[in-house]
Amino acid sequence: SQTIHQWPATLVQPVGSPLSLECTVEGTSNPNLYWYRQAAGRGLQLLFYSVGIGQISSEVPQNLSASRPQDRQFILSSKKLLLSDSGFYLCAWSMGYQPQHFGDGTRLSIL
Amino acid sequence: KQEVTQIPAALSVPEGENLVLNCSFTDSAIYNLQWFRQDPGKGLTSLLLIQSSQREQTSGRLNASLDKSSGRSTLYIAASQPGDSATYLCAENSGGSNYKLTFGKGTLLTVNP
């Protein structure tokens, strides 16, 4: 069966520090991968998606970037975090138009 | 730009009651619609997916319907239980090569024992 792992579960970072969140999927090949951010009162916002290795599409201009160095690995990064980057970050995968499956999320707090 | 709206934002019901959660969308060319459940501090769990060619999908006590012409979907929960307490989100997929979902802000459901 397929599983998705996302870490860390919580993270507290100072403003201006770098960020790296990792997501891996097991039990499938060539999945579509997604990074979402969930902020209070704003719903779930798609940040990046990838349909293959090295293929990254950005949905909104922001202080973040994403990479897909391996088929089932998706990384969310920032060189310098802003206060506005605080939120709950979720990674998800799907096969085509099948349901998306989500990780348990990372709670990011910026101080 | 597609928009998805969920009403009400919060709902509190006594245990055993049947209830309906509403979702409306603006995309007339919807490809499919998905319902998710989110427990506090957790990721989303997929509940039901309805293709645009379908009218409804059922899983246990859950039944989701889709009316493309009116831009509406409903999630019906029968005989609600305290364990059903969670936030329920709907999301529409408009097709295309990116498989993106547009989410509503969710309905926070509380089922009181």
Tens digit of each residue's pLDDT (9 = 90 or more) over A54-69: 899 988 768 899 999 9
Answer yes or no: do A105 and B41 touch at CB < 8 A.
yes
Question: What is the side-by-side order of every strand in the sheet holding B62-67?
Answer: B4-7, B19-25, B72-77, B62-67, B56-59
Task: Sort out which chain A residues have CB atoms less than 8 A from B32's CB and list them.
Answer: 97
Report the alpha-carbon distance of residue A100 to residue B84 in Å, rounded: 21
pLDDT digits (tens, 9 = 90+) for A70-98: 999 999 999 999 999 999 999 999 998 78
Least Cα distance to B109 among B13, B6, B5, B4 occurs for B13
CA distance B112 to chain A (A): 24
Task: Sort out which chain B residues have CB atoms less than 8 A from A97's CB and list them.
Answer: 31-32, 93, 95, 99
Computed over every residue of chain B, the mean pLDDT equals 93
pLDDT score of A7 = 92
